[in-house]
Copies of this chain bind each other. A is one copy, B any other.
């Protein structure tokens, strides 16, 4: 259970308070504010604050005195133009702050995106909760045999059961021992900053994460991608839904140009031109490697 009654009450208290502001307000986003969107077995994302909306992107692009809006349609067109031509700075004018609860091994991937602000719960200072990520049975995937960095089909039967048993038992034993080491009953108690090293990386941590929209799109393009590890992809997917409500025009352009788009090499473009003219192209004549050709074929037949 990700939230205690106390935490829920704190969240509800915030959702109950409204104030007047002269700033840009995104109604779509207000509906998400503070709500915990559940991810995995104990995780969540919560929008804690945001700055700007679609109009703010245009306002900055035009360096205008007022809201910068000409019309909703005009704005959407400008936003598509900016996205298509890699004008990144107007998208940097929107900002989002999230409270995220996530397993440590996911946090380790996430933090590789450096252009963001982070405050993480400190296990030097505080005691971690007994909450571990245990995969659902359909996510207990086997190692892929074609891709060193991928998953195959889900394990089944006894094999799956054995893995689940290991993960649960080891998580709990390591936590029991963590507690035993830091306990000050009848002993001094090991320093928290040391005891934590005994905990496996499926334990949950949490942080405040603040990022601008341009860098968030970059994160989402990589992490909402089919090649991303499932456990981070579900966070990216949850964030995508929130962003679609926050800045619908910007998200629409992102979806078309980045998520749904493709980056073709000069060689690939040459093949496309030939194929459109009706000429035959093979891997051999394409100049591409076998792996590249395989990826290319999927792209043009999808």
Residues of A with Cβ closer than 8 Å to B? 3, 7, 10-11, 13-15, 17-25, 30, 33-34, 48-52, 56, 59-61, 63-67, 77, 80-81, 84-86, 89-90, 92-93, 95, 97, 99, 103-105, 107-108, 111-112, 114-115, 117-122, 124-126, 133, 135, 139-144, 148-152, 155, 159, 163, 166-167, 170-171, 173-174, 177, 180-182, 184, 187-194, 196-202, 206-208, 210, 212, 222, 227, 229, 255-257, 259-269, 272-273, 275-276, 278, 289, 291-292, 295, 299-302
Contacts and interface: CB of A to CB of B under 8 A. Distances in A.
Given A24-B49, A122-B149, 5 more contacts: A84-B295, A95-B95, A108-B111, A262-B264, A275-B276
B103 A119 contact: no
A131 to B, nearest CB: 13
For chain A, what secondary structure do more than half of its interface residues adopt (helix, strand, loop), or is it mixed?
Answer: mixed
A115 B218 CA distance: 16
Give the number of times this chain occurs in the complex, counting copies.
Answer: 4
Contacts of A262: 263-264, 269
B201 A104 contact: yes
Contacts of A22: 14-15, 17-19, 30, 33-34
Contacts of A256: 265-267
A20 B23 contact: no
A23 B50 contact: yes
B66 A13 contact: yes
Contact of A206 (B56, B63, B135): B63
A272 B262 CA distance: 11
Given A276-B272, A292-B80, A144 B191 contact: yes
27 contacts: A3-B65, A10-B66, A17-B22, A18-B21, A19-B20, A20-B30, A23-B33, A23-B50, A48-B59, A50-B51, A61-B119, A63-B99, A63-B120, A86-B222, A89-B112, A92-B117, A92-B210, A105-B197, A111-B111, A114-B115, A125-B149, A140-B194, A141-B194, A142-B191, A173-B173, A196-B201, A272-B300
A262 B263 CA distance: 6
Contacts of A10: 64-67
A3 B65 CA distance: 9
